[in-house]
């Protein structure tokens, strides 16, 4: 059964996706709560000189603060992506690695969506809490890291021919 290496059933896939997603979103919210409590508006912590710092930013927009006037749109899009993505994944994913990948991405989307739903200035308009700052780049959070890692692994899967979420290796069938 070389073609079906690592295959899992529907219930296991949903359990993996849900568990990893919940843990990722909860971890994101926990470190954001820490950042709010410890960093405040004027405090920063230098981790690696001025190259890597922790500093609090409340982001009304998307990546690099773009789209601040479209906060409700970003929140609505996140809801659609989360619902459609989870329905697709529950129907299609039958591989532990893909389930982990989808769970990590879902946790990242959910972490930032929670901010949009519960933070100031209000429901679906809330500002995302960012606090990890890289010099000459951006300020981001753990949810963004989850999304980036998930996307990076997906790219590796595609480049190495492991782009099938069913867990079947391309050109082979389950024996």
CB distance 37 to 117 below 8 Å: no
What is the spatial distance between Cα 108 and Cα 26, in angstroms, rounded to a whole number? 10
For residues 141, 143, 144, 150, the Cα torsion angle rounded to the nearest 10 degrees is 150
For the residues 128-134, what does the mean pLDDT come to? 97
Catalytic position from the list 42, 50, 69, 130: 130
Task: Report how far apart the first and last C-alpha atoms of the chain are (Å, whole number).
Answer: 5
The string over 142-157, giving b where at least 16 C-beta atoms fall within 10 Å of a residue's C-beta and e elsewhere, is: bbbbbbeebeebbeeb
Going from N- to C-terminal start, the domains of the chain cover: 7-157
Strand partners, 46: 53
What radius of gyration do the chain's Cα atoms show?
18
> 13-51 pLDDT, tens per residue?
999 999 999 999 999 999 999 999 999 878 999 999 999
What is the spatial distance between Cα 150 and Cα 98, in angstroms, rounded to a whole number? 9
pLDDT of 141 > 50? The answer is yes
Catalytic position from the list 28, 46, 115, 144: 144
Q: How many CB atoms lie within 10 A of CB 133?
A: 21
Q: Confirm whether 164 is a catalytic residue.
A: no
Question: In this structure, what are the phi and psi dihedrals at residue 41, rounded to the nearest 5 degrees?
Answer: -80, -30
Supply the pLDDT for residue 170. Answer: 57
Three-class SS of residue 62? coil
Supply the pLDDT for residue 2. Answer: 41
């Amino acid at each position: 059964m070389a073609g079906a290496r690592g295959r899992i059933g529907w219930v296991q896939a949903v359990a993996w996706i849900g568990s990893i997603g919940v843990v990722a979103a909860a971890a994101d919210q926990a470190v954001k709560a820490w950042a709010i409590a410890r960093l405040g508006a004027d405090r920063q912590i230098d981790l690696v000189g001025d190259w890597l710092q922790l500093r609090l930013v409340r982001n009304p927009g998307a990546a690099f603060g773009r789209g601040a006037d479209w906060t409700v749109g970003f929140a609505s899009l996140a809801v659609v992506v989360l619902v459609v993505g989870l329905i697709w994944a529950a129907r299609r994913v039958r591989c532990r690695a893909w389930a982990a990948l989808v769970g990590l991405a879902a946790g990242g989307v959910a972490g930032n969506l929670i901010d949009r739903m519960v933070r100031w200035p209000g429901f679906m308009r809330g500002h995302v809490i960012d606090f990890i700052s890289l010099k000459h780049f951006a300020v981001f959070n753990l949810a963004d890291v989850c999304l980036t890692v998930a996307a990076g692994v997906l790219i590796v899967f595609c480049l190495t021919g492991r782009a099938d979420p069913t867990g079947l290796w391309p050109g082979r069938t389950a024996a």
